[in-house]
Structure 1
Amino acid sequence: MGSSTSKLKYPHLVASKFPITNDGETITLSDGRIMGFKEYKFFHTLTDNTISLRNQEFVILSIPGIPGSRFFTHPSLLSKENDENINTSENNENKALIRLIVLERPGFGLSTSAKRNFIDFSNDIKELCQQKNIKKFSLMAYSAGGPFGLAAAYSLGKQNDSLNGPIISKLAIITKNSPSLLSIIARLEAKSALSDPVKAASEILLLGPPDDKEVYEKFPEIEELFIKSSLEMYTRGQVETACWEYSLWGKDWGFNLNEIGKGKDGNIGVRCKVWHGEEDYGCTIDMGKYIADQIKGCETCFDK
């Protein structure tokens, strides 16, 4: 499958080569469901301001958007992981070990399909941490993964004020499109991606800000990242999961934004940061500011 355009540009990104079954990890949750994820390890070189963190290990959990999969991580990190000889037993002066774990929500990738809400997924994250003996972590949630990250900050942050995160890299929580319309778009996108993934990605770019197209042209590996996750998701027939998640946006989320970030005795608990592109078509700048204003002590970065 895949047109000549796809084969010419990215020969490895065609529907016939997906889904990928031999790359990633899973755990079995208490209710018998499978949760998929992929862990990436690399060393981060410290600066003078962070030298006190040398030889330490930091865990970052990442929640992708839609389409998203365990493969959704920046290509520069992949090359860094491959270029460096990761030996955690060695004393790497002036470096800190980063463990980036990219999660797959229910019904995406290797994870069992289940109609779970935002708070429910927080419980899945908690189980993952228990099974992998993770005591402390930061959380990064991207785009449609934003509400799940906020829910985790609300539910898990209350239990342990020393918990770091989440750091929300980009929020696309509220949309001017209705959930039913988004479901129609998702099904059309799935059909297009399976036929010609490169063309489908180009058509999506036309709906976004001009800067997105410039990024794809300058860094084609970013385009590959999105296409790979699209194919992993749609070749598994998981478009209905996307439709289910879209429907959650218009329902009660199960928590209030102003309850996030509150620690004991009035102190700040979970520290949150919102990064938001001012040209984001999916979530307006006013909505990004509203979310940040509701969370106690929330830092912001509005990128032009």
Structure 2
Amino acid sequence: MQVYQDLRARLANGRVIGYSEYTAPEARSSTIQLDDQGHEVVPKTIVFIPGTPGCRKFNPLAAAAAAESFPADVRLIVMERPGIGLSSAPGAAAFTSVTSFRTSATGRSTKRPSHSGSLPTVAAAEAAAALQEASASVHSAGQPPSSAHQADGSQPQPPHPMTDFAELFGDFCKHLRLDRVWVVGYSSGTPYALAAAHAWGKQHWHVPAEAGGSGRTPPGQGLVAGVALVSAISPRFQGVQQGMSPVFRFAYFCTRRIKWLVRWAIGHEAAAAAKDPAKALKDGFKPYTRASPADAAALKRPEVESLFLESYKDGVAHNVTPTTVRETLAVGQPWPFDLPAISSVPVAIWQGSQDVGTTPAMAQYLKENVPGCKQIRVVPDAGHLVLFDVLCTEVVPWLLQQQ
């Protein structure tokens, strides 16, 4: 498997999305492959949306059981959310462009961005902008930067993180000439996978096979072909805290009632990660590892620890704190899309029975409220890190069956 890391998709609206691609050479080959019937074989693409901490470097195959079984003709793209890693944070441009995709889709670039192993000047500028936003977020309770104004002189509200991501998801896929994708959301990445399904379950564009697309998006179906959620988060509902550990129950309460404390706690964790990433990682996972022997064992595996440490270090380098604050607060507020509207995209959920953060109760709520949800599997004796047990053995095989 080849790794194409630290890639940037520079979208037509000026936003940047960081990503990495993990794939076998044949999945990126320009040579036309034919099946037994003489039909062209177009590689499928899985877009993986990591949790927190998680960035383009979070390659789940590096720690997954039976990773060698991952299909050689499938591309795995790890996509960053806005404000994480190489992705530009929501700023003034985002306030006016959040709905721009559907009105200007024909002007999007179809060129694949080149590989870059270092941070150019623009990335440094983006990091500096994120740092400035971090300072503002601590004092303004999530208000937009003071430099952004509407026509009447008032300050516009920033786009909801989930809405912003859903719009950029479409831009991102078109930029890479992808007209049919399969999505995996993990942990805090799961609401964004659902947001993408909501926005793109019925809408798509046609990219001919000779231009890099699948060339055969089924009529009436959308960009997103299927969604797999692992360690899924749900919106707030009566009983949402069932099965949560005390620390997560309090944190969830704070997202609605004591928001300043959320900002302080995340800032404190970021400072700890900058000082000693390994210790910060272990401390951050204590609620999980205390409740789940499986999580405790998984986190001791060097390949698992390395994945999270890389994300911790990248978060420190690119100042992910403002984004973490926005996303954490957003989870506890009403979500900006309706779960019952996700009916055309097949969805499946894998949840650890011992998960005290993203609980089986959350998974059950999603199952009952997402019409497209085909199955839920609560994995016995598994915790929050169940991803590495089921990704290649269950999740990917199920996902690729969805047409």
Specify the TM-score bucket, using the shorter chain as the normaliser: 0.7 to 0.9
* Counterpart pick for 1:36 among 18, 21, 24: 18
Pairwise CA distance, 1:31: 2.1
The answer for the alignment partner of 1:284 in structure 2 is: 359
Q: Which residue of 2 aligns with 1:194?
A: 274
Within the alignment, does 1:165 sit opposite 2:226 as a pair?
A: yes
SS at match of 2:231: strand
AA of the residue aligned to 2:371? K
The answer on 1:301 being equivalent to 2:368 is no
- Post-superposition shift, 1:297? 3.9
1:27 aligned to which of 9, 12, 17: 9
Please state whether the residue corresponding to 2:297 is helix, strand or coil: helix
One of 97, 100, 103 as aligned partner of 2:79:
103
Could you say if the C-alpha distance between residues 111 and 137 of structure 1 is closer, same or farther in structure 2, counting changes exceeding 3 Å?
A: same
Residue aligning to 1:123:
167
Partner of 1:67: 53
Larger radius of gyration, structure 1 or 2?
A: 2
CA contact (8 A) 1:60 1:98 kept: yes
Give the AA of the match of 1:24. D
Unaligned runs of 5+ in 2: 27-35, 91-157, 205-220, 236-247, 381-403
Within 2, Cα distance between the matches of 1:54 and 1:202? 48
Q: 1:206 aligns with which of 286, 290, 296?
A: 286
Once the two structures are superposed, residues 123-156 of structure 1 have per-residue CA deviations (whole angstroms, 9 ceiling, x without a partner) of 1111111111111110111111111111111110
Higher helix share: 2
Alpha-carbon separation, structure 1, partners of 2:46 and 2:322: 28
Q: Please give the residue correspondences for 1:1-304 in structure 2 after superposition, counting only pairs within 5 Å.
A: 23-42=5-24, 56-76=42-62, 96-114=72-90, 115-116=158-159, 117-159=161-203, 161=221, 163-173=224-234, 176=249, 177=251, 178-179=254-255, 180=259, 181-208=261-288, 209-210=291-292, 211-217=294-300, 219-261=301-343, 269-298=344-373, 299-304=375-380
Q: 1: CA distance between counterparts of 2:314 and 2:225?
A: 30
Q: Distance in 2 between matches of 1:42 and 1:103?
A: 18
C-alpha displacement at 1:183, in angstroms? 3.0
Deviation at 1:252, TM superposition (A): 3.1
Greater Cα offset, 283-292 or 169-178: 169-178
Query: 1:170 and 1:270 mapped to 2: Cα distance?
Result: 19
Amino acid of the residue matched to residue 73 of structure 2? L
Matched residue type, 1:139: V
CA contact (8 A) 1:56 1:96 kept: no
**TM-score (structure 2 length as normaliser):** 0.59
Counterpart secondary structure, 2:226: coil
- Choose 199-208 or 53-62, whichever is displaced more: 53-62
Structure 1 residues 238-266: Cα deviation after superposition (integer angstroms, max 9, x where no partner): 211100111212333221111112xxxxx
TM-score (norm 1): 0.76
Report the alpha carbon displacement of residue 280 of structure 1 after superposing the two structures with TM. Answer: 1.4
Aligned equivalents of 2:199, 2:48: Cα separation in 1: 17
Inter-partner Cα distance in structure 2 for 1:118 and 1:206:
28
Conserved 8 A contact 1:193-1:230: yes
Q: One-letter code of the match for 1:232?
A: D
Q: Percent identity?
A: 28
Shift of 1:30: 2.7
Residues 264-288 of structure 1: CA distance to partner in whole angstroms, max 9, x if unpaired?
Answer: xxxxx21101111121121222121
Q: Find the counterpart in structure 1 of residue 100 from structure 2.
A: none
